[in-house]
Amino acid sequence: LNPFSSASATSEIIELHIYPIKSCRGISVQKSYLTRQGLDLDRRWMFVDAETMKFITIRNISQMTQIDTSLDTTSSNLTISIHSTPHSITIPTRPSPAWLETNTTLSRVTIWDHETDGHIYSESINSLFTTFFSKPVKLVYKGPTPRILRGNGALELLGREESTNFPDVMPLLIANEGSLWELNGRLKEKGHQEITVERFRPNIIVKGAESVDSVTKGGLPGAWSEDSWKTVRILPNGEQKSGIASLLGGGEKPLEIDVQARCARCQVPNVDPDTAEKDKKEPWDTLVSYRRIDEGIKWKPCFGMLGCPRNEGEIGVGMKFEVVETTGAHVYVKGFLSQMLLERPLYPIARIACLFRVGFTVHEISCRIRSNCLTSFRELEVGACTLSTRLHMILPISRLTT
């Protein structure tokens, strides 16, 4: 991040949301603590099928939005309740090792194609949710083993190794208010009711303008201008300090976030979080009509941006939000299809990209890695490829999505 750079757009945080349990109802908060793994307490828990130990989401069970979450005044306890019923349980948000040993069992769980560890709660806690789901399920608290980021968040693309808890892809999802306004305008024209930003389950919502200009006269980001955000900065105490002033102004260091990818959407936003009813068409149909904009995942529309914090600190509604760097080169990289390639330190992704460039298929590269045939760096050194070269700059998109 260039400390002498000026913001290309200036806004402010208007909402913060955490979703303690993956796919369940979230909590609107006025302030939180931003960690390298995301907002404090965000997606620290999830439900898994008791037999397969695979994660469960709204994608298949829209009724999960009827599981409410709330925190006590000190954020020491999480209450999980079934909407419109008297049934609830309360668990500590930061359980001690002794509490975990008594009330949970450490086990392996699966989220997408990635296996990680989690503390499985006892049947005395799970029984309420087994009744709700009408099948055996287990509540899981993220275990101690880091869940290393893949895809756009991988070391080879981000430049450092980061981890997260139970989000799908990355620690943070940022949404632009202006883009929601623009989308709602289209929905209203079609006779559909406006929707709330909660359907997209973002963590940080920033003030925006409905105009499609990248930056409006007032300096606010226009609708969909977030597509090109690369680095954003959040200023402490609501005080705006651009460029060199951010270094000389004293006080806390601004929070910095690498914006790594657009968020490719499934049909979860079609689910009304208040009723758990899933609309058969909207907003999916409208989004598909004009928001399939990412060459890396052309069959899905995009809303919001995925990010990785560079540092940690307090964050709150009203803080200034600056767009420091932009890029026209965002391309979505699937995280879990490339997991095997990224886990091999001997074959960084830039080298593997060289093989793609000269015509090798995914299967051929996988076979060569497994048989340890790639022993010569010269064999991989094609053109000007270097370890710092981003995947999307040297790979044809058609080869990426094969």
Residue identified by tokens 């080169």 is 329
- Average pLDDT, stretch 169-179? 97
* 169 CB neighbour count, 10 Å cutoff: 21
147: exposed, middle or buried (Cβ count in 10 Å: 0-12, 13-18, 19+): buried
Q: Which of 76-85, 246-255, 285-294 has the lowest mean pLDDT?
A: 246-255
pLDDT of residue 159: 94
pLDDT value at position 375?
A: 39
Q: Decide the pairing of beta strands 172-176 and 204-206.
A: parallel
Helix axes 349-357, 362-370, angle to 10 degrees: 130
Q: Where are the alpha helices (DSSP H) in 38-122?
A: 97-103
Check: pTM over 0.85? Answer yes or no.
Answer: no
Task: Give me the chain's average pLDDT, please.
Answer: 84
Share of the chain above pLDDT 70, in %: 76
d(CA 56, CA 64): 9
Which tokens in the block code for residue 76? 């020491």
Handedness of CA 360, 361, 362, 366 (dihedral sign): negative
